[in-house]
Structure 1
Amino acid sequence: MTSGPQDPRSASVRAGAENTAISPWASQQIHDIVDELQRMNRRKASTFSGAILEASAFNILWRLWEGPRTLRELSVELELEQSTVNRQVNAAINHGYVERFAVEGSASKLLRPTEAGYVAFQHDGELRADRLRRVFADLAPGSPEALLHELRAYNDAYDRAVRAEGL
């Protein structure tokens, strides 16, 4: 004996519908922004046809392109645990893309790209730049300049919020 009409949706669908009522997002706009940021985040490990480097080696070489770094400096800049960066650096060293070298007066060895690392980074950087040129050509509405302006403003504001939280 039933007490009324049954909802034709399954219990899991009803539970999902109920969960949206208690969503952690303050608004649909916040939800949609988080969704777009998640889409961007999934692209950080994008593959490129003809690429030489793994994504982690590319990211390490990106930092080292600007100048030598210690393992600790890399871990801070990449926002990764030092053990993770150490593993990734060792893989890049084993592939011949990065080398350690001693600096007089410093207990820590520094890291720098090898010639092969420079060549691979330039090659893979051009693949990424080519993809971005194609994306920008199809970016409508909008412009690369506006995107850069808004991304920089967002990242600066995000960094200020994190610092204010004491993290």
Structure 2
Amino acid sequence: MTRQMNAPVRDIRRAVNGQVEDSRRLAGLLASLDSARRVLSQRATLGTADMRLLWLFTDGESYTLRQIAELLGLEQSTVNRQVNAAVGAGLLVKARGRGRGPYLFTSSPLGVREFERTLDATLSTYRTALAAMGDERDRFLALVADFVEAYHVAVSEPASRRDRLGAPRP
């Protein structure tokens, strides 16, 4: 499997020597990274939605559906479906608030264990890849941080401003 995942990266590196535009090279590398991340995700015991949901509960607090929706920036109907699925899977515990208040949700012991197991597997993979970079690791992380910040700015700028600055349209 490693050979298959590395083949697109090799192809992208070869194409660079053939004068491929930097933005295309980056797009290809990010697509290859997405592919590898999907492989890792398929091996995980929890999916992205469950991980995002359980991450919210790492502070040990209880939340209502409305609070969860606000904190995750999702529609309440989506949160309702995800939370009830997590309750059904034993990842969250549902309890009535004070009196007849809204239901409160907390992470179950199983939810905590599965979250930690999936997070550890993901971070372990990142650690392995970063270790392979040797002395360039810190420089790489700094460059990625700079890129992510610049990308957020580029995404949030109106297209007309980018056009005036001479930036290519996506």
Shorter-normalised TM-score: what interval?
0.5 to 0.7
Verify the 8 A CA contact 2:69 2:75 in the aligned structure 1. no
Secondary structure of 2:41 counterpart? coil
Q: How far, CA to CA, are the matches of 1:117 and 1:95 in structure 2?
A: 9
Question: What residue in structure 1 maps to residue 113 of structure 2?
Answer: 119
What is the count of residue pairs matched by the alignment? 133
RMSD over aligned Cα atoms: 3.3
Q: 1:73 aligns with which of 59, 70, 73?
A: 70
Say whether 1:130 aligns with 2:124.
yes
Whose Rg is larger? 1
Deviations 1:103-160 (A, max 9, x none): 67xx8755432221111111222222222222122226731x3333223222222333
Q: How far, CA to CA, are the matches of 2:36 and 2:94 in structure 1?
A: 30
Unaligned runs of 5+ in 1: 1-26
Percent sequence identity over aligned pairs: 24
Q: Are the structure 2 counterparts of residues 88 and 147 from structure 1 closer, same or farther at C-alpha, using a change threshold of 3 Å?
A: farther
Say whether 1:93 aligns with 2:95.
no
Q: Are the structure 2 counterparts of residues 115 and 136 from structure 1 closer, same or farther at C-alpha, using a change threshold of 3 Å?
A: same
Q: Aligned-pair distance for 1:99? A: 3.3
Q: Which stretch shifts more, 61-70 or 121-130?
A: 61-70
Q: 1:37 aligns with which of 2, 22, 30?
A: 30
Q: 1:52 aligns with which of 29, 45, 48?
A: 45
Q: Are the structure 2 counterparts of residues 64 and 35 from structure 1 closer, same or farther at C-alpha, using a change threshold of 3 Å?
A: farther
Q: Aligned-pair distance for 1:92? A: 1.5
What letter corresponds to residue 71 of structure 1 in structure 2?
Answer: I
Q: TM-score, length-normalised on structure 2?
A: 0.59
Q: Which stretch shifts more, 112-121 or 132-141?
A: 132-141
Q: How far, CA to CA, are the matches of 1:31 and 1:86 in structure 2?
A: 39
Question: What residue in structure 2 maps to residue 160 of structure 1?
Answer: 153
Say whether 1:151 aligns with 2:144.
yes
Verify the 8 A CA contact 1:101 1:110 in the aligned structure 2. yes
Q: How far, CA to CA, are the matches of 1:97 and 1:126 in structure 2?
A: 17
Secondary structure of 1:42 counterpart? helix
Unaligned runs of 5+ in 2: 1-19, 160-170
Deviations 1:56-96 (A, max 9, x none): 212321233246552323442xxx65544443332222111
What letter corresponds to residue 54 of structure 1 in structure 2?
Answer: G
Q: Are the structure 2 counterparts of residues 139 and 160 from structure 1 closer, same or farther at C-alpha, using a change threshold of 3 Å?
A: same
Q: Aligned-pair distance for 1:52? A: 3.0
